Structures are given as structure tokens and as C-alpha cells.
Amino acid sequence: MITLGEPRLIVLITCYDLGRHLGCYGVTSVATPHLDALAADGFRFERAFSVAPQCSPSRAALATGRFPHANGVMGLAHGTYGWELHSEEQHVAELLSAHGFESHLFGLQHVTSDPQRLGFDRIHGAGSGREVAEEVARWCSQGGAGPRSYVEINLFEPHRPYDHGGVRPDESRGVHVPPYMPDDDGSRREMSALQGAFMEADRAIGRIVGALDDGGLLDDALIVFTVDHGIAMPRAKCTLYDPGIEIALIMRWPGGGIGPAISAELVSNVDVAPTLLEITHIHAPEVLQGRSFLALLENRDYEPRAAVYAEKTWHSYYDPMRAIRTQRYKLIATSSRLLQWRSRQTSRRGPCSASPPNAIQGTALPRSSFMTSSLTPSKP
């Protein structure tokens, strides 16, 4: 059994719209040597899922440890969409800062219209992945890390447009067209452009990891790499099918005994914040809805998740749907079925007090009020 201490530096790196399209997840046409190396040295989760198939709701859950319907961000946070964290919500940066961590934000954020409310001690610049990586490298070379630091780095790539910053398509290892897309010229053009954006994100991450190494910080750093949701293709992003909510999740901390290992347990990105709090010996607020998987990282007795949950309420329009996924089964309910369940429950037992019926006889789907208690009638 490994007992972990406390990392002096936590580095959380995220990308947009990547899903699990990496070499270390078996996609051989994608050239991602830096992330593959991180996975080889780290703890890689084979069955990590997002709570939402859209950017802001997923990122808000990652940051707060609470589901979108609870934290307020049920749709996009930018522009006229205007979804916002509830006033009482606490970003993990704020929680860590309150316990002595100096917190830094590099790159974009997509959970609020007011970044100052998130609790970061310093907000650095945004830009392309290359530009953000260079700023992180300067920070490392100038001794920016304090005795205890939390650093969040959010890269734009591989979000559309895939040629952002002059990125070129990549077909150097062929082109992988997912089985849920037609294997035609149009799909291949799209996927080769996306593969070029994957390479660009990987280069930026390689620069960041190299800068940490050059600054003597790498082995003392807990590095967490993850993404918000699946790729921006049909039957993926903005759907609750597995390609819409499957995510890469890799953690590396050799100084604390994390990695190399691979886990097939179900985990959710809502579990990341509780895990970071436990690993830093900070008591998690009772309102957190995720659950720490630190025991899994430590190779201690761990009670596996019975299921992960996902939701979509609003992207460009109101489109409520909910999902429960176990190791073996998946249930997706769209608006008409959800409203039918809620009506039945309200008339029989009071508002949202009962669980939806299992859709398939004999399945091991857990009985949960998530499917109906997370509903909201419209955008506020």
C-alpha cells in the first residue's frame, strides 16, 4: 500500500473537444508523443467520463465538484448564452487558495463571465496553445512556483476552427475515422484537420512538461491532464452517447507514488475536485457531489462507482436529456421521457421523490433520482 504525502505543485491541464483520441488510448493515427509519455509514466483512466457533452457545463463540474444542474452552469457561459455559476459556488482554486496554495490561471476559462470571482491569485494571459505554453515556460524559468501552488492551464486546441494559429492537417500516420461516422472523403478531411489540432495541443503540453522539468519542478508536481468532452463530430459532442462524454484522464506524480498504472474503473470528472482536496488534506465541503478516487490512486481498498451520470440541458437551444452509465449498461432519456417520469412521480409520491424505472428488464442500472431531480423547465 502506498501512502501519499502532499504535492507542493498541482498542475491541471485541459484541452477542448478531444475525447480519448490519443495514441495512449489506442488511436494509432494520432501523433501525441508527449501525452503518450505522460500516460506511460502516470495513472491512466480507461473509463473516465464527463458529466456533460458541452464545454461550460463540463468545465464547471470539473472545477466545483458539482453537477451542472446544481452549480448553475447548464449551458455555455460566454456571449448571449450567459449561464453562470451560482453565487455560492466555489471553484477548486478558491478552496485551495484558502488553505495556503497560490493559484494561477493560464489560458482561457469557460465557466463564468467574471474570471475574478473564481478565486485565482493571478490570472495570466490567454492565446493559442503555443503562446500559453511559452508563458508557462517563462513563469517556470522565473521561479514562479511558491511553496504550494495550484496552476490551471486551459488550452484552446483542438477546438474548431482546427487551423487556429496556422495549424495544418495531419495524415502522417493515416487518418482514423470513428466507426460512428461515414468513412468518406468529407470525414477524412475533417479528421485529418482534427488530428493536426491534436498534434498542436500535444506540442504545447510537451513544452509545458519540459519547462517544469527544466525548472526542477516535474517530480514534485502532481500533473492532471483531462478534457471537457468528446470530439466535435456527429454522435459525439453535444450527445450523451459514449463518444460525447468519454474523456482522457491522466495523473502523474512520481514523488507521491502515482503511476504508472491503468484503471478500468468508472470515474467522472466531477470526482476530480474532491480528489485534489483529499490529496492536499483539505476537508471537502459537504455540498460536493463528486467522490474522491484517491484510494484507487493509492492502491488501497476502493469502493467502485456503480455508475456515472451525465446531463445536457441547453447548448444552442433547450434540449434536456439525462444518462446513467454502468460498466455494462447505458440509459439515455430525452425530454419527453423525463417529463413523463417527473409527472408520474409528482402525482404518486410528491416532486421528484421516486426513481425512474429501469428501461431494460434485468439490468443492473442503479435506482437514482438524478434523471428527474436535475431537470429545469427553461433557461433563467
* Residue 4 scores a pLDDT above 70: no
pTM above threshold 0.85: yes
Q: Rounded CA gap, 210 and 325, in Å?
A: 37
Residues forming beta bridges with residue 104, ordered by sequence position: 122, 151
Torsion of CA 178, 180, 186, 189, to 10 degrees: -20
User: Strand 221-227 vs strand 249-252: parallel, antiparallel, or unpaired?
Assistant: antiparallel
At 63-105, the pLDDT tens digits run 999 999 999 999 999 988 989 999 999 999 999 999 999 999 9
In this prediction, residue 350 carries a pLDDT of 35
For range 253-264, the mean pLDDT: 93
pLDDT grade for 339, boundaries at 50, 70 and 90: low
Instruction: Name which residue leads in pLDDT, 256 or 293.
Output: 293
Give backbone dihedrals phi and psi of 208, rounded to 5 degrees, phi first. -65, -50
Work out the burial of residue 314: count CB atoms within 10 Å of its CB; fewer than 13 is exposed, 13-18 middle, 19 or more buried: buried
Q: What percent of the chain has pLDDT over 70?
A: 88
pLDDT grade for 367, boundaries at 50, 70 and 90: low
Q: Rounded CA gap, 46 and 380, in Å?
A: 37
